[in-house]
Structure 1
Amino acid sequence: MFTKYYPHILATVFTLFFIAFGIHPVDRDVWVVEVTPIIIAFIILLLTFKKFRFSNTAYTMMSAWMFLHTIGGHYTFANVPFDFITNLFDFQRNNFDRVAHFSVGFYAFAVTEVLIRKKWANAVISTLFGFAFIMSVASVYEIIEWSYAVIDGGNTGIEFLGSQGDIWDAQKDMLMDGLGALFSLIIFWVVRPVQGIVFTKR
């Protein structure tokens, strides 16, 4: 029963979590910008659930980004309480955003699962596309962040950009997205949520 209703339980927990962290965020304008992609992704998963149900592992991995990004939206990523890690590794900045970007890569798992289960591509192409998809999203999102920061021209734009003075922030964020994708694809081939998949074309 738990396995059957796991997505429902996870969605309920996330909804409560989202509501709780939507109360009195550090900066409401930043919160709106940050949670917009979360809401869009969540709604898409809800609307497509009956037509395509992902494996429970895929839902778990996709939810990781939602939870982390919700936290970042509440505090703003530069101000998330992350001092323990920052001090432990003697970082010069708050790297919570790097962790969140790593979790973005977990969506490569879901993309690969869709392609294989729908028989739209063989295992190799599906895996490569999953990685390429994440890197494409990563680059587009960095452009969106930059564009919004320029258009806004104020503190909201700066907080949304989240560079914290690092001139290589965009490149490092994309690297973390890619590393997260590689990690999730390794997990995919260890767990193998789709039965009977092989590295050959049908």
Structure 2
Amino acid sequence: MDNKRSLTTLTLLTLAYSAVFVFSAIEPMSRAVWIAEIIPVVLALGIIWVLSINYKFSNTSYILMFVWIFMHTIGSKYTFAEVPFDWFNELIGSQDRNHFDRVAHFSIGFYAYPIAEYLIKKHAVKPVIALLFGLFSIMSLAAGYEIIEWWYAELAGGDEGIAFLGSQGDIWDAQKDMLMDTLGALTSLTLLVFQRRVFSSSQAK
């Protein structure tokens, strides 16, 4: 029953994402940037579905994984520096930059949850090691993605490269993005720890 419910959640999230994907594909701010940004999203979605053939993640895992998928797809339409996000920027009292990319990076850290959940459920390693592996996996991914951004920006050059990089003039943008990835991972892993205290060790809903 739990596996069937998880598959239903994955299917519904994918259907909802399809609408967002179509929305993002209609007259994006930069078609080249849209293509470059949408490729990792489609790959991530494909990997989630392939993994789900033999293993069903919890509903929480699927929801957390789709937060980034939705946000990154929206960012691909406008470019991350131009996403309409004034309400949040005003909420935190920031007028000098668009913080949508920071929030999106924070959501990348949520993938630490399904990584640790999988290792715990499979009894592959001790829970503490599973949590650390989830954290370090995200930190490594964050560093790797910043390198890819740098390469693409160098190759594309001009406004397209700047739009993809999304640094908005901040010389510490890469470091701050990696910090947000890490904080997102720590937040999701804290949620996992809390849930395993509330529910039985065999559940992570």
Q: State the TM-score bracket (shorter-chain normalisation).
A: over 0.9
CA positional deviation for 1:15: 1.6
Partner of 1:176 in structure 2? 180
Unaligned runs of 5+ in 2: none
What secondary structure sits across from 2:88 in the alignment? helix
Q: Is 1:26 the counterpart of 2:29 in the alignment?
A: yes
Following superposition of structure 1 onto structure 2, how do residues 115-154 of structure 1 map, counting pairs within 5 Å?
Answer: 115-154=119-158
Partner of 2:60 in structure 1? 57
CA RMSD of superposed structures (Å): 1.7
Aligned length: 197
Distance 1:46 1:19 in 2: 19
| Per-residue Cα deviation, 1:80-116 (whole angstroms, up to 9, x for no partner) | 0012222341331111000000000000001101111
Q: 1:84 aligns with which of 66, 82, 87?
A: 87
Distance 2:95 2:190 in 1: 28
Normalised TM-score (structure 2): 0.91
Q: Structure 1: which 4+ aligned runs deviate by more than 3 Å? A: 1-4
Distance 1:134 1:150 in 2: 24
> How high is the sequence identity, in percent, across the aligned residues?
49
Q: 2:13 aligns with which of 6, 10, 17?
A: 10
Distance 2:174 2:23 in 1: 30
| Per-residue Cα deviation, 1:43-102 (whole angstroms, up to 9, x for no partner) | 111122121110010000000000010110011000000122223413311110000000
| Per-residue Cα deviation, 1:181-202 (whole angstroms, up to 9, x for no partner) | 00000111122398426xxxxx
Q: Retained in 1: the 8 A contact 2:20–2:74? A: no
Distance 1:87 1:10 in 2: 30
